[in-house]
Amino acid sequence: MQKQHIQMRINGEPCEFLVEPNTLLMNLLRSEMELTGTKYGCGTGQCGGCTVLVNGEPVLSCLTLALAVDGADILTIEGVAAPDGTLDPIQEAFLDTAAIQCGYCTPGMVLMAKDLLNKNPSPSEDQIREHIKGNLCRCTGYHRIVQAIKSCSK
């Protein structure tokens, strides 16, 4: 296995790595960068817990080879709040709505919500539900999550 050099921006920080080809983006973020907000859920692309934004688009980091995102701009949940810790409005909305129970799906949900609101500032409930279809939550029944996103809709 020949290691390869890659570069990427992670939450705005330029980073360089020498990685083995079988390194997954999820493991690079969690193990090398200690950005453990990105969650391992199923590891097979079914739960959405490992969602991160690559060049502004949500992808599953558990199925993404690190080498495949060479040169990309990565946003993880750790990069959603402002550097001074001020929460993003969608994060505030999750808190205000109590859209969190165990919290495991929350990073993925927040990133999906951000992605949706970036593209469609006033989504309908159906559009919200459609957008978070690939993210499983086993606690909330989704109701509060949908409410939280709805409350950010303009």
Partner 1 sequence: MVNTKILTQEFDYHRPASLAEAFELLAEYGDAAKVIAGGTDVVPQLKYEKIAPNHLVALMKISELSDINEDSNGLNIGACARLRDAKQACARGPGYAALHDALRSIGKVQVMNMGTLGGNLCTASPAADSVPPLLVLNGRVTLANAEGSRTLEIEDFITGPYAAAMAANEIMTEIHIPPGQEHQGSAFLKIARVAADISKLSCAVAVQRDAERCVSCRIALGAVAPLPLRIKGAEELLGGKKMDATLLAEAAASVSAGIRPISDVRSTETYRRQVAAVIFKDVFDMAWQRAGGKS
By CB under 8 A, is residue 38 in contact with partner 1? no
| N-terminal to C-terminal alpha carbon distance within the chain | 50
CA–CA dist 109, 132 (Å, integer) = 7
By CB under 8 A, is residue 120 in contact with partner 1? no
Burial of 7 (0-12, 13-18, 19+ CB in 10 A): exposed
CB 50 within 8 A of CB 37: no
By CB under 8 A, is residue 63 in contact with partner 1? yes
* Residue 138 CB, nearest approach to partner 1 (Å): 12
Q: Which of 10, 24, 105, 113 binds partner 1 (CB under 8 A)?
A: 24
Burial of 153 (0-12, 13-18, 19+ CB in 10 A): middle
By CB under 8 A, is residue 140 in contact with partner 1? no
Instruction: Please identify, using beta-carbon distances, which residue of 129 and 150 lies nearer to partner 1.
Output: 129
By CB under 8 A, is residue 73 in contact with partner 1? no
Residue 75-114 contact track with partner 1, rule CB under 8 A, x = bound:
-------------------------------------x--
By CB under 8 A, is residue 126 in contact with partner 1? no
Per-residue DSSP letter, 132: T
Residue 66 tokens read as 């690190």
Burial of 68 (0-12, 13-18, 19+ CB in 10 A): middle
By CB under 8 A, is residue 51 in contact with partner 1? yes
Contact residues toward partner 1 (CB under 8 A) are: 1-2, 4, 20-24, 27, 40, 42-46, 48, 51, 57-60, 62-65, 67-68, 70, 112, 115, 130-131, 133-134
